[in-house]
């Protein structure tokens, strides 16, 4: 008789999602122990674990001698890459890329509409109980319509691809920049009917080395890159200087990809029309930060990926990988140490 595959879940999940994971294969023996630290989990459970599903809690290598695979609830795992456990030779490391794509893409499109239709200005007018004369409304409040605009996607992973799909009814010209332009197909997890699995939705694909040239053409630029040594500060003063003065920038990637000093200067000097930032290099954003005072900036507190459906979607990704693991097939969303994501 084949021994069961020991799976340990250490994050808090709805019962329906735990059951969804259990149903991935009859060969799985799933232990559910939500914990903030490894010491809160029985030693025998840790020692038996072959697979662990985690949020941030990482045991030490010696606590999990039988561990072969760790799966993170998040898509971005830059916070964990230097942990001792992830240095274990031969350890499979996967993440939940694709699980957050629907809500992050919706957020990005919402920010496009809000910026283009001057929602921050409208909110300020409401606070002042001010109804501007019609001449000002036409001159100052005429929208930059999303329809027919050129949108540049900095990063064409699961989020960028879903943004491209959502923008199809608007008739946008989609430009995209990605690391490997020779392989436009998506090799990560995609929910049926979402994203751009075949790489069909963009008009032109740019290498990351030419991202500034892409941004020069855009009415909206949306950053959705992961944070890695190669992407840290990749959108800086030189790239921002190439944007149109009428263009907007939206960042739903990871804090640190966009150069903080550079975007602050551009917004203070009104070199572009405005921005919406969901992530910052320092979080929470300090109350003393000058970003809070910028009238041409919309700030959200790293909530683009928040969704009431997130755990269910992330559970689908993990369950799919469990089926692959049992079958001996390659896992999706594998972390590549050479790339940093």
Confidence of residue 2 (pLDDT cuts 50, 70, 90): confident
Q: What is the mean pLDDT of the chain?
A: 96
Length of the chain in residues, anyone?
Answer: 341
Residue 63: what pLDDT? 97
The full 3-state SS of the chain, as one line of letters, equals CCCCEEEEECCCCCHHHHHHHHCCCCCEEEEECCCCCHHHCCHHHHHHCCEEEECCCCCCHHHCCCCCEEEECCCCCCCCCCCHHHHCCCCEEECCCCCCHHHHHHHHHHHHHHHHCCHHHHHHHHHCCCCCCHHHHHHHCCCCCCCCCEEEEECCCHHHHHHHHHCHHHCCEEEEEECCCCCCCCCCCCCCCCCCCCCCCCCEEEEHHHHHHHHCCCCEEEECCCCCCCCCCCECHHHHCCCCCCCEEEECCCCCCECHHHHHHHHHCCCCCEEEECCCCCCCCCCCCHHHHCCCEEECCCCCCCCCCHHHHHHHHHHHHHHHHHHCCCCCCECCCCCCC
The rounded distance, in Å, linking the Cα atoms of 144 and 259 is: 25
Cβ count near 123 (within 10 Å): 12
Q: What is the pLDDT of residues 163-209, one digit of tens each?
A: 999 999 999 999 999 999 999 999 889 999 999 999 999 999 999 99
Whether 276 and 115 have beta carbons less than 8 Å apart is answered as yes
Q: What is the pLDDT of residues 238-289, one digit of tens each?
A: 999 999 999 999 999 999 999 999 999 999 999 999 999 999 999 999 999 9
Whether 202 and 173 have beta carbons less than 8 Å apart is answered as no
Q: What is the pLDDT of residues 280-293, one digit of tens each?
A: 999 999 999 999 99
Name all domains of the chain by residue range, CATH numbers in brackets. Answer: 5-99+308-327 (3.40.50.720), 101-299 (3.40.50.720)
Residue 233 in this model has a pLDDT that exceeds 60: yes
């Amino acid at each position: 008789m084949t021994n069961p595959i020991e799976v340990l879940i250490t994050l808090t999940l709805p019962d329906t999602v735990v059951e969804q994971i259990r149903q991935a294969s009859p060969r799985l023996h799933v232990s559910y122990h939500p914990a903030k630290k490894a010491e809160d989990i029985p030693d025998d459970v840790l020692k038996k674990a072959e697979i662990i599903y985690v949020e941030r809690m990482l045991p030490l290598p010696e606590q999990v001698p039988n561990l072969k695979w760790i799966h993170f609830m998040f898509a971005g795992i830059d916070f964990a890459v230097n942990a001792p456990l992830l240095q274990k030779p031969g350890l499979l490391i996967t993440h939940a890329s694709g699980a957050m794509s629907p809500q992050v893409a919706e957020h990005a499109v919402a920010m496009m509409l809000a910026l283009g239709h001057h929602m921050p200005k409208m909110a300020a007018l409401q606070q002042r109980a001010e109804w501007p004369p019609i001449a000002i409304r036409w001159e100052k409040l005429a929208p930059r319509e999303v329809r027919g605009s050129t949108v540049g996607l900095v990063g064409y992973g699961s989020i960028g691809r879903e943004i491209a799909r959502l923008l199809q009814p608007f008739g946008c010209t989609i430009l995209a920049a990605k690391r490997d332009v020779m392989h436009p197909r998506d090799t990560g997890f995609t929910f049926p009917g979402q994203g751009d699995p075949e790489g069909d939705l963009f008009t032109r694909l740019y290498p990351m080395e030419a991202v500034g040239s892409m941004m020069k053409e855009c009415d909206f630029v949306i950053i959705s890159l992961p944070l890695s040594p190669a992407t840290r500060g990749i959108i800086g003063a030189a790239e921002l200087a190439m944007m149109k003065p009428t263009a907007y920038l939206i960042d739903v990637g990871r804090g640190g990809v966009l150069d903080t000093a550079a975007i602050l200067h551009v917004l203070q000097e009104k070199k572009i029309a405005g921005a919406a930032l969901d992530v910052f290099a320092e979080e929470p954003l300090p109350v003393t930060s000058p970003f809070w005072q910028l009238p041409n900036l919309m700030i959200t507190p790293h909530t683009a990926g928040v969704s009431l459906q997130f755990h269910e979607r992330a559970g689908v990704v993990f369950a799919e990988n469990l089926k692959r693991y049992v079958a001996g097939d390659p896992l999706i969303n594998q972390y590549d140490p050479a790339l940093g994501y």
